[in-house]
A and B are shown apart, each in its own frame.
Chain A
């Protein structure tokens, strides 16, 4: 059977490869140059063809899908604008290490370079924002390329891979059978770490009195929650997470300090400033975490573990570099510490006690004296209302950072936010993608009026494919986060942030898409609104009128060290010794 030459077409090869990779849904929009591939999908109803309203929406859906379940999201689009519309979503996936395979049609090979209709150099455009990209110029290599793309997108540090599919390549006859396996001799990520740095790290941890773990998105990707919790329980080290790592460590655990960074919890940042040993697991020390790197963790020996060696030493000085997968690293570190530990090895009790006291004092963002219903107030209600398994996707802005403070998570892959790229418009499509990946879960989209309007057309996709999410819009008719910056740092010169009372009525907008929604103007109405959302079988929009004067605090002024956070309590200005 295997020796028989069966002639099938490039497009069939693609679909067959998708099936072999376990792809059950593709997100995208058809168009001239991708017609052959969509034609092949026509014969394969087992791959759900989710038609989005904009390729950016498709890309964020694929990202939300991937972030919720760990499998790569697949997006399809046509050449030219179809491809360029995906670009924001691909860039977002690149920044947040989200596995994604993006495919767009291309003009036939004979027309490439002729500035043909809907021709653009997508390989060139996506080169800096993908992990790798391909252009198919030989149909016999189609299968190899598709399989390599999936391998690259998912192995090591995940990321997006773009494939350019000239129209004639999709409809060309292919004789080469699909290989069982593809090889990439030049791509071999280190998964199992070297034991030598692990031992050095263990020794430093055992010597330390004020150890701190920063758990990043890499721990979620590695599926390292159990290992992390066991390690922390045994070795007693408090845990900060990054925005991307939120959910990897249960936030109700006594050793959880919450999210650190620019809008992080005050005590979490305090811990980062005063620790004497920092164990960074699967994080990349983004500027939003460190502030000024020169004054970052000044007293600490820094142990940095990441699967991507180029992240180590990129942003902050590192004493012990460990390259490998977070799950393996945590397991090995745990074992090594147990081997080396003596009776009185764990000296972190005083440190932990102090941090827990501070956490009691500072937990939750500072509440400002503003009139009306606050974002914090709404989110406290949502936090009590939502289940542990519920997934929350967000837009980008104040509401996102309020969510970071007021929503707590105990499970990985339940907090889906655009961390690195800060892509407004991410929330609704990412929530829809997450719901497709996890149909049994309740999925929320926490959004702002600015973010929501960037991709609100995907309500139509939600309607058409009966994907139910609950959208909570923090509507202050302003670009709130920028407003806050201008208020604090630019003498209230409110340039370009006011939507001037011209937002649409979001409930009526939902109704226009044959969906439903509700306005909320008082906190007392919120519970009923949330209940109504859950009761509705379709995507539901809750439009919350919030004041534009609200700030998300504390906040780190850009470029400053964590010591200079504003809007926090006084403990922040003191050193470990003074507080003690």
Chain B
């Protein structure tokens, strides 16, 4: 079985969550800031938070400590950003969902895929004569590993949500 460890992230891979006012243009401010400062967004997800009028934006990006510090400071300067929490630490759960269309015309491939699905706790969500669409949830590394594994059958399409995350306790490390 795939060992679903905590967040086995590259030390230069950061995940932060921004609590922002749900104002028009707030996403543009954030993505614009990355562009202006010449930083790259790896993934970004946006959704409502538990609080009315406040959205949560999870951003993953690569960069050394200087990039991380500069980026979080610049993001904090945006008036619409209320707070930033670091999710790259042990005390956070990071997840990503992916839908993968896999070529499974051959019976032996179907059989093999079944064992992989079990090991990765992934599930088929649509099966046709030619393909199986698989849904998998896990850390980005787990999703990467699964996609690598099924590449032998032929991966026709991959749709990934990008990472989202949450602190294990209420104590997400404040920035």
Residues of A within 8 A of B (CB): 123-124, 127-128, 131-132, 135, 137, 152, 184-187, 308-310, 313-314
Of residues 49 through 92 on chain B, the ones whose CB sits less than 8 Å from some CB of chain A are 66, 69-70, 73-74, 76-83
Out of A123, A128, A186, A309, name the residue touching B21 (CB < 8 Å). Answer: A186
A185 to B79, CA, bound (A): 9
- Which of A132, A185, A314 is within 8 Å of B70, CB to CB? A314
- Which chain A positions have C-beta within 8 A of B83? 186
B11 contacts chain A at the CB level, 8 A cutoff: no
Q: Which residues does chain B contribute within 8 Å of A152, judged by CB atoms?
A: 79
How far does the alpha carbon of A477 sit from the alpha carbon of B69 in the complex, in Å?
Answer: 47
- Residues B70 and A313 in contact, CB atoms below 8 Å apart: yes
B174 interface residue per 8 A CB criterion: no
CB of B77 within 8 A of CB of A186, answer no
B25 touches which one: A123, A184, A185, A186 (CB < 8 A)?
A123
Contacts A127-B25, A313-B66 hold; do A132 and B73 have CB atoms under 8 A apart?
A: no
With A127-B29, A127-B32, A186-B21 in contact, do A313 and B79 touch (Cβ < 8 Å)? no
Q: A456 CB to closest chain B CB, in angstroms?
A: 32
Q: Contact between A310 and B29 (Cβ–Cβ < 8 Å)? A: no
The yes or no answer to B36 lying at the interface (CB within 8 A) is yes
In the bound complex, residues from chain B placing their C-beta under 8 Å from that of A186 are: 21, 79-83
A185 to B53, CA, bound (A): 14
- Which residues 10-61 of B sit at the A interface, judged by CB distance below 8 A? 21, 24-25, 28-29, 32-33, 36
- The CA-CA distance from A123 to B29 in the complex, in Å, is 10
Bound: A314/B37 CA distance, A: 11
Residue of B nearest to A309 (CB): B73
Q: List 17 A-B contacts (CB under 8 A).
A: A127-B25, A127-B29, A128-B32, A128-B36, A132-B78, A135-B24, A137-B24, A185-B82, A186-B21, A186-B80, A186-B82, A186-B83, A187-B79, A310-B70, A310-B73, A313-B66, A314-B70
Give every chain A residue within 8 A of B80 (Cβ-Cβ): 132, 186
The 7 closest A-B pairs by CB, nearest first: A310-B73, A132-B79, A186-B82, A128-B36, A310-B74, A187-B79, A309-B73
A124 touches B74 (CB 8 A): no
- Tell which of A186, A309, A313 has the most Cβ of chain B within 10 Å: A186
Q: Mark B80-113, 1 if CB is under 8 A from A, else 0.
A: 1111000000000000000000000000000000
Residues of A near B73 (CB, < 8 A) are: 309-310
Who on chain A is nearest to B77 by CB? A310
A132 to chain B, nearest CB (A): 4
Q: Are A184 and B79 in contact (CB under 8 A)?
A: yes
Give the distance to chain A from B23, nearest Cβ to Cβ, in Å. Answer: 9
Chain B residues with Cβ under 8 A from A137's Cβ? 24
Given A127-B32, A310-B74, A313-B66; 4 other pairs, CB 8 A cutoff: A127-B29, A128-B33, A135-B24, A313-B69
C-alpha spacing A356/B33, complex, angstroms: 44
Residues of A near B74 (CB, < 8 A) are 310
Bound: A309/B75 CA distance, A: 11
Q: Which residues of B132-160 are within 8 A (CB) of A?
A: none
Q: Which of A131, A152, A309 has the most CB of B within 10 A?
A: A309
CA distance in complex: A158, B136 (Å): 48
Residues of chain B within 8 A (CB-CB) of A310 are 70, 73-74, 76-77
Q: Whole-angstrom distance from the CB of B137 to the nearest CB of chain A?
A: 32
| B69 CB contacts on chain A under 8 angstroms | 313
Output the least CB separation between A136 and chain B (Å): 12
Q: For the complex, what is the distance from the CA of A128 to the CA of B35, rounded to whole Å?
A: 10
CB neighbours of B77 from chain A (8 A): 308, 310
CA distance A152 to B77 in the complex (A): 11
**Chain B residues within an 8 Å CB radius of A131:** 79
Q: How far is the CA of A102 from the CA of B24 in the complex (A)?
A: 20
With a cutoff of 8 Å between Cβ atoms, the chain A residues found around residue B28 in the complex are: 124, 127
Which residues from chain B contact A187 at a C-beta distance below 8 Å? 79
Most buried by B among A135, A184, A310: A310
Name the A residues within 8 Å of B36 (CB-CB). 128
Q: Which residues of A contact B25 (CB under 8 A)?
A: 123-124, 127, 135
User: Which A residues touch B81, using CB under 8 A?
Assistant: 186
| A311 nearest CB neighbor, chain B only | B73
Which residue on chain A has the smallest CB distance to residue B79? A132
Q: Which residue of A lies closest to B70 (CB)?
A: A314
Query: Taking CB as reference atom, which chain B residue is nearest A124?
Result: B28
Q: Which residues of B have CB within 8 Å of A308?
A: 77
B72 nearest CB neighbor, chain A only: A310
In angstroms, Cα B72 to Cα A313, docked, is: 12
Complexed CA–CA distance, A123 and B80 (Å): 14
The listed residue with most A CB atoms (<10 A of its CB), out of B32, B66, B77, is: B77
B154 to chain A, nearest CB (A): 42
| Contacting residues, chain B, for A184 (C-beta < 8 A) | 79
Nearest A residue (CB) for B66: A313
B79: chain A residues within 8 A (beta carbon): 131-132, 152, 184, 186-187
Which of B25, B33, B80 has the most chain A CB within a 10 Å cutoff? B25
Query: A546: shortest Cβ distance to chain B, in Å?
Result: 38
Q: Nearest chain B CB to A135's CB is how many angstroms away?
A: 7
Q: What's the nearest-Cβ distance from chain B to residue A411, in Å?
A: 31
Instruction: Give the nearest-CB partner of A308 in chain B.
Output: B77
A274→B2 CA distance, assembly (Å):
58
Q: For the complex, what is the distance from the CA of A538 to the CA of B82, rounded to whole Å?
A: 50
Chain B residues with Cβ under 8 A from A123's Cβ?
25
